[in-house]
Chains A and B, each alone.
Chain A
């Protein structure tokens, strides 16, 4: 299983802050995962249909969307950060 966590408007659109899914196929990237989740429609499509608005972290490290998920335990999807 793979843990997914969502933040900010991604979390609000999807309507949950975390979930567990079957592991994606070997070689699947974060972008592949986003496309698959967007295909669920509804809030997922609303949050994830434009990947240019999204950023990601794998196991609590920022990664680009073309990063292979590999044996990661947690993938986080969120908008660009606005701290400080």
Chain B
């Protein structure tokens, strides 16, 4: 089978997608992706010159805005209810830049 992506490509993609892949997972994921990408080649063989793309089945979408009125919504507690870690009414995350907290 043709190789579209290498293990090193897949490792880069995993980093971009923020999915940690172990060294053991890498070969299988690479093989799976190459198998799938091979099935996608049909569209590259099409002559699509002059064909306008359709990005959405409903063509005339526009942004919807509503009046600036208070409406019922989630309470602060409800919005935080599913958070793995909270503190003082906020979400808690580890250091963003890599330094100690």
- Asked if A pairs with B, the answer is no
Query: What residues make up the interface of B, taking CB atoms closer than 8 Å to A?
Result: none
